Chains A and B, each alone.
Chain A
């Protein structure tokens, strides 16, 4: 069965950096697009970033542009999110989510359990 397991969350000071990982199993990781979606405490869902199955195409939300970078290592079945210049408003649970197709179909058919990032001094 499909499993997505995020790690790397924690408490970081404003302006700091963090790298999230998402280990995938139960499907052919290298053939699917992948996303990061976040949810601030008590709030709704916000799409953060997308990467094509082969890493050739990436998109991200305006709110994180220039600060967050999505990447993947298909040899390790792992998705990453490098987060720099973190702000208090980046505090959220970060979910990795599988796209139903190889590109940006934006249908999130499987989700990880999430990892909490808290930006606070």
Chain B
């Protein structure tokens, strides 16, 4: 199975900050990497697919990059509704696997 790691595990930031967090795969997944946002008590929501494509309805302040084993999400200006946990997930092979998450909270 492909193992996914994420860093940092948590971060604190102010509204308006530029925020970046990363995901690493234990082997190349090409661009088959998705990101999900999950708020407490809610289901995950697809944010970014194929490493850099924004899912319909996702604000343009989110962007994704990377390929192979290293991937990044950047939020250009953090908004109150962005405080959540973010999970990466590889869709390259079976079983699909998720990273442990990065929790973004208010500073």
Chain A residues at the B interface, C-beta cutoff of 8 Å? 44-47, 50, 59, 61-62, 95, 100, 104-114
Contacts and interface: CB of A to CB of B under 8 A. Distances in A.
Interface residues of B, number: 23
5 contacts: A59-B95, A61-B95, A106-B32, A108-B36, A108-B46
Given A100-B49, A107-B34, A108-B36, A45 B91 contact: no
Nearest to B49: A107
Interface of B: 32, 34, 36, 38, 42-46, 49, 55, 87, 89-91, 94-101
Contacts of A95: 43-44
A5 to B, nearest CB: 11
Nearest to A93: B43
A112 B43 CA distance: 7
A107 B44 contact: no
B47 to A, nearest CB: 11
Contacts of A106: 32, 34, 89-91, 94, 96
